Structure formats: structure tokens, C-alpha cells
Structure 1
């Protein structure tokens, strides 16, 4: 009663400008804001979701998982449900009723697509009502394999210098009942820049040790790892490893962003290769264009690249720099054609 009376005073006071000034006005405004906030919050949370969180457990990729939640009007007034939204197109909710009287309930049917996700994924379904929004988190652990779990599903090695060590570990857990009979036979990478082998085994789990090879060139690389196993259902398990490798050799500018070009017309860009200490100039390779050493620049070896775009749009490729037959460095070359 006291708080309701105070709220009434606050509302009345808001309609009477000039009644108080200075510190009193500031203090009164703060008290009124607190009281009114409590009044507004008290009107919310009429709709309760049962359960409050949907846990779909472990699912494979590219499947549709269905679940149901019951919405209950726990208040004393009728509530109108405006719509249901989700934070991703992979998730949607469908309601049984659009209006709930006091104590009434309705089903919220939820569909979630696992798509090509990996690892733990949380989506949020939001039910907008006249009594406020109700948020229902939907959790799912997505795996590309029925009988294997990869953790982490995507490994990033610590940044390293070319020729120096960088290591990591991925665990492969077999989920079949015949785990004692299954073995990981080999682990390979594409390109062949990461060495992999089972370091140890604990029951159903294989700890796979990974190490960057010395031949790995400088640049940002995504390497596909493939583990060959004796499992009859999922004999091959693949996962990705990201590496960021630096070198004493670098390119300026980096990345190499070329001027906007015209389809069918040659576009050129000059750059410099810094830190090259070889007795013989490097060999440059560009798959859709040419790259040539043209002399000495202000800070290093000067080079020029030329590309003739075949169609409109963005073209991204790699400039590869070789020290003899050994790949030293990869740099992105970006061109947009009109």
C-alpha cells in the first residue's frame, strides 16, 4: 500500500513541473525511477516456459530435431501472444494458441536444424506477449559423425615462426559399444604440413598429438586432418587445424589488394618483398596471373603482379613465394572486377 501510494505521488509529481529543484529534484527522480521500475517489473513474467531450457543432447549434422515446450499463464490476467521469433533461421517455433487466460497453457513446438554446425550450439526462441518476452534457450551438441566425437571440433595452434615448433591435441572419442575393438590406424594432413599420431588412449578416447612441420610456409593456413580408423560405420574422421605462421620474409603491402579492374583487361600492382636473404631471387607463383621480380625497391626486392579477370566479382588467390623448391610464404591477392 505504501509503495503504491508512493508510485501515485511520483506519477502526480511528474505532471507538476517546477515543484522542486536542485538536489531535492535529483533525489526525488531517483526514488521515483526505482519505484516505477518495480511496478513495471511486477507486471512481467506472467508466462512461464516448462521446461525453461530445451537440451536436445548430441545430434548428427544435417538433421531436424523437434521438441515441445509448454507455456503457462501463471498470472491473474489474460495474455495475448503476438508472435514467436528465433535468433537463427535454423530454428523456428509454432504455437497452439494466441491467447491464454489465467492458468491456461499451450504447446510451443520447436524445430531446430543442426546443419553443418559442430560442437555445442545454443539458439534462443523468443515468445513475444502482452506481458513481456519469454526466452527459451535451445541447446544441442552437433557432431558430423554418428559414432565419433571430436573435441575440439576445430583446433587453432598457437602463432609460430616458420621452422619453429607448434603443437596441439585433439581427442577422438568412440561412442559405439564395441570401443575396445576400434583403433585409430593413421592420422594425415592435407597439405602435408602437420604430423599427427595417437599419443595415448584412455578407454574409448584417443588423444591425438599434432605438430606443425618445419616445411610449413608462412601465412594463415587451414589444414584438413584425416584420421583413419577400424570403425565399420565411420572409418574416416576429419577435422580442421588452423595455423598462423610468420617469417622473416614478408610482403608489403599485405594483403595485396589490387585496383578495381575491368573484365578482360589486365590489372597490375607493384609490391616489395622484405627480408629476403637468399643468394638467388625467389620464384613467384600466381595461379591466375603473373608475378615477376622487377628490381630493387626502397626496402627490398620489387615485384609486380598482373591479373586479367575473366568475370565480374571478387577474386581471391594466393601469391606463393618459393626459396628454390621450398614454399617460403603465401600472401592473399584480392581483386574485384566490374
Structure 2
């Protein structure tokens, strides 16, 4: 099997690629992988085992039709992670999000169809649903994105599903909750807080800290993606969640405890524009159809993540310096 992975040098994409090359997925044992990544600010070659003979790495843009036309033939599947993904950056300037997430996805769909790629798995986010006060979103929930980032991802979801309905492409869409784990770029909340606390710096908590998120360990997310790739029904959407909801204040408390710090290390900041109050995914569909079940508890996952950042300063310190975090 030959799998084409976009954004494979980023946080989630690289976790998926490492799992593939370590043969953690029985249905893809021995697979060869082509990674296409632009290596923008959050892509990192060091996230990948570049010496592995089953891995081909190409630096390039998913909006580059000619490059895709050269690379895609012969691949059995596309797993599409590549995206601009930070809400705060999208609020500051939305155009790169539209370019990469919408135009890039459509370009990739067109070229994958022309190359005769078998399955196209589009990795999306729960943020396309907006905010929910009570209950949990099913896959049939109307899309109501509130940030430019979420709107660009909702648009790319619809383009992917339209390719199935219009052209008969074998497309599957997954929507995940908030991911955490190792190798996450340190602008995101958990690595930002952990690395700040390791360095004795305060951490910024938006508003009253009452915004609630469902937390999903990246290895569980990758397992869910692989199940959807191997067994998901064409034209369907599958929610992938972790089953553990925490307010940002509760999460902050856990990170303070894990890093041996107190609440004096927390600095309240003005709330983000359009900040969704609560996310919650219903994962009944992927459980019943594909046998998905999150395996990493939040306690263990956070402990492992904090330990990794403690032990890998050489990985994150240059990234924070470059991004002025």
C-alpha cells in the first residue's frame, strides 16, 4: 500500500506517519508513505524518521497542481492533514486559511481524482459545528463555524463531500476534538502552558476560563483516522473524540499541578473574539460502525506529554524563539 500524507511534518500528521512506519496499524503493515509538507512555521522535519526507507519526504504546497500531478499517481490513498489551524492567527488574517484550507483542498481533490487515487480521507475539526451549550454534536449537526479558521475548514469539508456526490470520489471526512500529545507546536495551549511553566513564566488564561473542550490524545486520533481510512463508508463523516471534557480553567489547574506550579503563575487575558463556549462530540457512529474507542486516559496522556516536553527542550526551545512565544 502507498499512502500520500499531506501536512505530514506537523503535529497530528507526523504522529500518524510515525505510527504507519512503526506498523501500528495491522491493515497498513509495510505501507510506504509520501509526505508532502510546505514546512511553514509549524511543520518540522525533526518530527519524521527521514532515514526510513519507506518514507519519501517532499517539501511543497498543496496548491501546486503541477507538483501534485507528479507525485500522486500510484498512491492508493490520500490522508489530508495539511491546514492552517490556529484560531488566533485566523482572526489576525484569514486569507492564508482560505488559500490553504479551501483552495488547497480543492486542488488536492482535483489532482487525486485525475490520478485515480482510491480513497481520500479529509481530516477536519469539531470547530466546524460552532458552539454547543448542552448535549453533543452528531455528524448530522448543521455547520455553524464562528472563526475564520473554522469557516475555512467547514468549506473544505463541503468541497470534499461534494467531490463524492458530484464525481463519485471515495471520500471520507473525520472531525476531531482538541488534540494533545508530543511534538505539538508550542503556540497551542497545552505545550505553551507546559513550556512556559518549565521556564518559570506565567501562562495566559482567556476570559473566565470557562470555555469547555473535549480532549483527545493524538495517538487515539490516529487510530480513529486509520479505522475510517480502512473501513469508513464513502461519503460519510465520522466524529473522533476523546470523551473527556474540561474547562480551560480545569485544564490549567491540571497543568499547574503537573508542573509543580501555583495559580500565581496564571495571567488572565482578554477573551478571544468569537470564542466558542463549549465543544462536545458524539462518537456513537464511529464506535458502532468502526469499533473506535479512545484508549489513552487524560491522566496518563497529560503526564506523558508533560514528561516529553521536560525531556525535549532542544525540540521546542528553538520553535518558541523563532515564533517569539
Q: TM-score range by the shorter chain?
A: under 0.3
- Larger relative strand fraction: 1
- Larger relative helix fraction: 2
TM-score (norm 2): 0.27
TM-score (norm 1): 0.26
Q: Which has the bigger relative contact order, CA under 8 A and spacing at least 6? A: 2
